[in-house]
Amino acid sequence: MHLLPRLVVLLTLFLGACSSTRDEDKLLDATLDQYAAAVRWGSIEDALGFLAPEAPRPSAFEIERLKQLQIAGYREQPPVQLSPTEVEQVAQIDFVNRHTQEGKSTIERFRWRFDAEAQRWWLVSGIAKLQAR
């Protein structure tokens, strides 16, 4: 008889955990979509808003160099779960230098971390470098 209340409590905890995981997944999808849009539109300022406080930040010179580029394509792969609070996403970014009209392509690895307190995903790997490889 005492087993039933324990099962109810465990089931409630389990369902709550599943719900929060689904919420985190929805937040991740929305965050990745918003970051991709910021990169596609060449909005450096918007992309910087995704950076975690501890993430590497581009210098003023690097930001000006990035503003000279036009994004021609952004093709991302599905994110890969690295831990319960970290994912990595690989994206191919095609870009053109506005001054030289030279086109290049690069593969970027973006690492994201979920901040439970802030209820958001942070980009911890830094914004796209956009250097040809």
Q: Where does the pLDDT of residue 121 fall: very low under 50, low under 70, confident under 90, or very high at 90 and above?
A: very high
- The pTM (predicted TM-score) of the whole model is 0.79
The pLDDT score that the predictor gives to residue 102 is: 94
The structural domains of the chain, with segments of one domain joined by +, span 3-123
The C-alpha atoms of residue 4 and residue 10 are separated, in whole angstroms, by 10
CATH topology of domain 3-123: Nuclear Transport Factor 2; Chain: A, (3.10.450)
pLDDT digits (tens, 9 = 90+) for 41-99: 989 999 999 999 999 999 999 999 999 999 999 999 999 999 999 999 999 999 999 99
The pLDDT score that the predictor gives to residue 3 is: 56
The single residue listed with the structure tokens 């709550």 is 16
- Determine what percent of the chain is predicted with pLDDT higher than 70: 82
**8 Å CB contact between 4 and 12:** no
